[in-house]
Structure 1
Amino acid sequence: MIGRIIGALVGREMDRREGGGGLKGAAIGALTMGAMRRMGPLGMLIGGGYVAKKAYDRRRQSRGA
């Protein structure tokens, strides 16, 4: 279940970067989830780290720092 959430968040972040519609982000998220599952715990760590960094950068930018 956590893998699905991380996959959805990664797909959303990739879609925001490109500025496209939601379908492309959902497809990227599904592919990412499959890749993370095959990589095991390391894939979950990498995917979670990517999402956390993007959230951190967005928060830092909104604060004006």
Structure 2
Amino acid sequence: MIGKIIGALVGREMDRRDGSGGAKGAVMGMAAAGMLRRMGPLGMILGGGYVAKKAYDRHKASRRPANF
């Protein structure tokens, strides 16, 4: 279950990068979940780290002053 959640979050982050939205992110999330699950615990750590890094970068960018 946790693997599916991490896969969905990875798919959402990948889909946000191109900005188109839709089913593409869901398909990429399913593929990422399958790949991460085959890698075992290391894959889950890598996927969770990717999502956490993207969330941290987004948070840091939102705190940046508006005059930049």
Q: Same fold (TM over 0.5)?
A: yes
Aligned residues: 65
Runs of 4+ in 1 over 3 A off after TM superposition: none
Structure with the greater alpha carbon radius of gyration: 2
Residue in structure 2 matched with residue 15 of structure 1 by the alignment = 15
- Counterpart of 1:21 in 2: which secondary structure? coil
Residue in structure 2 matched with residue 42 of structure 1 by the alignment = 42
User: Once the two structures are superposed, what CA deviation does each residue of 1:18-61 show, in whole Å capped at 9, x if it has no partner?
Assistant: 01122000000000000011000000000000000000000000
| TM-score, normalised with respect to structure 1 | 0.96
Unaligned stretches of 5+ residues in structure 1: none
Unaligned stretches of 5+ residues in structure 2: none
- Report how far residue 17 of structure 1 moved: 0.3
| TM-score, normalised with respect to structure 2 | 0.92
